[in-house]
Amino acid sequence: MKKIVVFSWVVLLLVTGLAVWTWVNLPPLEQYPVHWNGSGMVDRYGSKMQVGLALFMMPLQVAFIFAIFTFIPKIEPVRSSIDANKRPYNYIWIITMLFLAGVSGFISYIYANIQTGSEITKFPISFLVIGVSAFFIFMGNIMGKFKRNFLVGIKTPWTLTSDLSWDKTHRLSGRMFVGAGLIGVASVFITKPETALYILLGLIFVIAVFALVYSFLVWKNDPAKRN
């Protein structure tokens, strides 16, 4: 765990440094794009200070996630589940930190390419969809390895009171996450980027609803369930 903590500190420092560098090197414009709509078009502008607030939200998010991953093992009520979930937990910790670092780099790239006297007119949604899809593929591959615990995973009343419901829900949902990620990547190349984003968001919603219903159905037919 010490190595992952050091790695997380390195990511946090890099993201913070990148935010500072990006903000300091912004070109002198009267207004900067600060929000894009679902089609990738700028729909709100703001001052350099507003851009700074947006940039420094990423280091804050990284620090928050870093703290959560650090303290979850300390407050897990089922102590035996800590060792049982050590490897997949560390894997997700690393992937999440890398994902946040990638998002930070992506945002900095956008602002680093603003040219004086011009504006960003299109947000590269396709890169966002591919990044999120890749994250789901990685997460889906590890979900089935999680053992029942109270703080990480798909936690419904039924997965928490049935080992069978927990295992089957995570294994099947993990495959569905991988499938959603693959569909997300493929949709970028066969449809419009904004359509691909809506497809990915729709798949996430479907998986969430499915996991809720499926976990109940498995729990209902588990003779070893706890009421």
Residue 49 pLDDT: 87
* Better pLDDT: 110 or 154: 154
Note whether 114 and 142 are same-domain residues. no
Question: Mean pLDDT over residues 127-156, rounded?
Answer: 86
pTM above 0.85, yes or no: no
Banded model confidence at residue 115, pLDDT cuts 50, 70, 90: low
Note whether 93 and 195 are same-domain residues. no
Note whether 152 and 203 are same-domain residues. yes
Residue 133 pLDDT: 94
pLDDT tens by residue, 103-113: 888 888 888 77
Token pair in block for residue 221: 């037919």
Boundaries of domain holding 19: 1-123
Note whether 112 and 154 are same-domain residues. no
Cβ–Cβ under 8 Å, residues 109 and 103:
no
Which H or E element spans position 42? strand 42-46
Token look-up 């940039």 returns 55
Domain count, the chain: 2
pLDDT tens by residue, 44-83: 788 888 888 888 889 999 999 999 888 877 776 666 666 6
Q: Is the pLDDT of residue 99 over 50?
A: yes
Cα-based torsion angle of the residue sequence 106, 179, 81, 73 in order, rounded to the nearest 10 degrees: 10
Query: Residue 114's closest CA among 197, 37, 30?
Result: 30
Note whether 5 and 115 are same-domain residues. yes
* β-bridge mates for residue 33, sequence order: 45
Q: Is the pLDDT of residue 177 over 50?
A: yes
Q: Give the domain-ending residue among 62, 89, 123.
A: 123
pLDDT tens by residue, 179-195: 999 999 999 999 988 88
Query: Residue 125's closest CA among 196, 191, 72, 227?
Result: 196
Cβ–Cβ under 8 Å, residues 108 and 19:
yes
